[in-house]
């Protein structure tokens, strides 16, 4: 079932040239290995401890993406091996990632999270804060991070028109930011948006990277994960 879902998704993503992050949070290693066996190499996790444990026991050519809210004191645990951090929502966090990257002499790729949903519980910069951060003097000095794009999550609603509008807004902000005179450590090439329930809308609005869990691995127990 996992392999078949992946095949369907890859075929759907191909015309858009979009990448798939298989979101494996809460799922056992055997499910990840099944996806791996089908050819998937990109996995997304949202808990530091779980990501570290999985990375230690699974094949080393997996590209691990951290997609959750990241606390500064936990950056050090994932810095050595993480491929992309999706949800950076403050300059403070970016500075900590830079500090850990420096220690490892590694440049760590990040996406800045933009708050596009109506729910107040979702993290991220608003448009104004994003532009202020990107054009700040401070960001230029962060030599061990690379900001490669933006990430956003739409409101959890059945209202497709609203979701579409939120993705369209994020896409237009992405294009606007791309045109700014950006420092060396910022190159806007990725727009991470779209999950199981809304990835088709996200692709139509310019997503380059979708993060999909339940469509591949089945539903999660909703009492332990949102």
Ligand X SMILES: *Cc1c(COP(=O)(O)O)cnc(C)c1O
Q: Confirm or reject binding of residue 25 to ligand X (CB under 6 A).
A: yes
Check: CB of residue 67 under 8 Å from CB of residue 46.
yes
**Contact between 65 and 46 (Cβ < 8 Å):** no
Nearest-angstrom CA–CA distance, 54 and 68: 15
Rounded to a whole number of angstroms, the minimum distance from the CB of residue 153 to ligand X is 6
Tokens matching residue 190: 């990725």
Does residue 152 interact with ligand X by CB under 6 A?
no
Which range of residues in 103-111, 132-140, 160-168, 207-215 is near ligand X by CB under 6 A?
Answer: 207-215
Specify the residue, 153 or 177, whose C-beta has the smaller distance to ligand X: 153
By Cβ distance, which residue is nearest to ligand X? 213
Question: Which residue in 124, 149, 152, 213 binds ligand X (CB under 6 A)?
Answer: 213
To ligand X, the closest distance from the beta carbon of 92 in angstroms equals 20
Instruction: Return the half-sphere exposure (C-beta side, CA atoms, 13 A cut-off) of residue 86.
Output: 26
The 3-state DSSP class for residue 216 equals helix
Distances (CA, A) of 206 to 52, 64, 116, 156: 31, 23, 15, 19
Shortest reach from residue 46's CB to ligand X, in Å: 5
114 binds ligand X (CB under 6 A): no
Residue 162 binds ligand X, judged by CB under 6 A: no
By rule CB under 6 A, what count of residues binds ligand X?
14
Distance CA 200, CA 223 (A): 26
211 in contact with ligand X (CB under 6 A): yes
Q: What are the residues binding ligand X (CB under 6 A)?
A: 23, 25, 46, 67-68, 153, 195-197, 211-215
């Amino acid at each position: 079932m996992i392999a078949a879902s992946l095949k369907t998704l890859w075929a759907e993503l191909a015309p858009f040239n979009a990448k798939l992050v298989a979101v494996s949070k809460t799922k056992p290693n055997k499910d990840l290995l099944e996806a791996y066996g089908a050819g998937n190499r990109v996995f997304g996790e949202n808990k530091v401890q779980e990501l570290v444990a999985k990375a230690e026991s699974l094949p080393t050519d997996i590209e691990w993406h951290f997609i959750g809210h990241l606390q500064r004191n936990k950056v050090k645990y994932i810095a050595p091996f993480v491929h992309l951090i999706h949800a950076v929502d403050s300059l403070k966090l970016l500075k900590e990632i830079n500090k850990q990257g420096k220690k490892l002499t590694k440049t760590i790729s990040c996406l800045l999270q933009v708050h596009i949903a109506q729910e107040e519980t979702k993290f991220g910069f608003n448009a104004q804060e994003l532009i202020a951060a990107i054009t700040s003097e401070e960001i230029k000095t962060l030599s061990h991070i690379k900001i490669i794009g933006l990430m956003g999550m739409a409101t959890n609603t059945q209202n497709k028109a609203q979701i579409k509008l939120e993705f369209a807004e994020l896409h237009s902000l992405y294009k606007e930011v791309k045109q700014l005179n950006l420092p060396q450590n910022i190159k806007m090439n990725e727009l991470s948006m779209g999950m199981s329930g809304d990835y088709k809308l996200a692709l139509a609005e310019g997503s380059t990277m979708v993060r999909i869990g339940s469509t591949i691995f089945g539903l999660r127990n909703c009492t332990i994960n949102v």
